[in-house]
Amino acid sequence: MTETMLPADLAIDLRQLVMTIANTVDLVGVDDVMHGRRVGMLAREMAIRMGWSEADQLILYDAGLLHDCGVSSTRVHHRLVVDLEWDGAEEHCIRGDELLANFQPLAHLAPIIRYHHSAWEWLVTQSLPGDTARFANLIYLADRIDVLAAPYHADQSVLSHADEIRARLASARGRLFSPELVDAFELISQEEAFWLALQPEWVQQYQVEMESHGDLKMIGWSEFKQCATIFSRIIDAKSPYTEQHSQGVARLSRHLAERLGLDPITCEKIEVAGLLHDIGKLQIPDEIIEGESALTAHEFDIMKSHSYGTLQVLKRLHAIAEIARWASLHHETPDGHGYPFHIGGVALPIEARIINVADIFQALAQDRPYRKSMTPDQILAILQERADLGRADPGVVRLVADDLAECHRIAICLE
């Protein structure tokens, strides 16, 4: 294999990246895709009113945006936005910590995320570094404020329920939440503006304003690729049946691109596109992903939305527009009958054609609720049939046929 070459001129705005991760995580909410953004806003606004430093305010905003990065299941998300506290909440905190701890640009958020569902009465008995305890507890409080207020956003009746929400949270003063934070919340939330700001249009406006905040930091390709791996781990945790799917697609896509003779930088980019291709699937309900029978027409329509969702999430990162396009086209076919754009013929780039074949190969090589994994020969027969029908690129399928055993090894992530 040739020595890896990097897109040296690529630079990613770290704030744009944080927003992209936040939007990815919020997809899991399905019907409410602003929970993380509201938590970040609430935490930052409370920090401002309490006179905390601007640096602390930004840390809390980012921690709020990403606090649920350990959640990929729509079932788990439903529990998180219904109950004030519940057994098992810590699991996603641990996973979120693990996802960010080794990613240097965001590692400072990992301890906050680790403890954002920990009771204050326990936190104060621990020897946690710096401001971890109070930051984590503020995220917990902001998170529960949003959970209690969320049912009233649609009919704009939250003001009528503000006293009820304050009383519910005050009952956990000193146990779940720091007395200092509860007292500040009770004072600040007397203002109608505190609650009105939670409406979707104002949350979106707040996010736009935060994206242009003056804390500009840039990261390079190596760090972005590491972050793409974090994305893939969030995506693949959606279901035990999709474990390592994105990584398998990425590895196989790169292998096929190299065998096709694409240049090293394109091979790097296509690998990252493979890691990111299923971001939109986070918004698909678990019941559809793990269904044991054929999808109904309605369920298939919902499933078709995921590749469009991938584009909408990734388009925020202007520096990777090309990668985002390849990733979003992974269900397009040469005959133009794929989805969601019906792009075919010469308009369908070879990079997307490669990811399409790699995606099908890897999925067929894994167990699914409705079937067992297929053998390499069975997979190849399906790919060849698709190529004959114009549903897969025949040249890419020939590459698979010429290197079948190695493609299978790579697809299932065997060392």
Instruction: Supply the residues annotated as catalytic.
Output: 281
Q: Please give the Cα distance from 54 to 60 (Å, whole number).
A: 10
Q: Would you give the DSSP letter of residue 51?
A: T
CA count, 13 A, side-chain hemisphere, 292: 0
Residue 218 bridge partners (DSSP): 13
- Burial (0-12, 13-18, 19+ Cβ within 10 Å), 290: middle
Amino acid 270 reads I
Decide if 178 contacts 137 (C-beta within 8 A). Answer: yes
Count of beta carbons in the 10 Å neighbourhood of residue 85: 12
d(Cα 296, Cα 304) in Å, to the nearest integer? 12
Q: How many alpha carbons fall within 13 Å on the CB side of residue 120?
A: 19
Q: Which amino acid is at 276?
A: L
3-state secondary structure of 198: coil
The per-residue DSSP string of 171-195 comes to TTBTTTB-HHHHHHHHHHTTSHHHH
User: Rounded distance, CA 236 to CA 77, Å?
Assistant: 16
Q: Give the list of residues 6+ apart from residue 284 with CB closer than 8 angstroms, or none.
A: 74, 238, 302, 303, 305, 306
As a whole number of angstroms, the distance between CA 161 and CA 150 comes to 11
200 Cβ contact partners less than 8 Å away, ≥ 6 residues apart: 34, 153
Q: How far apart are CA 137 and CA 299, in angstroms?
A: 39
Residues 412, 375 contacting (CB under 8 angstroms):
no
Structure-block tokens of residue 197: 């700001």
What element of type H or E holds 219?
strand 218-219
DSSP 14-39: HHHHHHHHHHHHHGGGTT-TTHHHHH
Question: Which residues sit opposite 11 in a β-bridge?
Answer: none
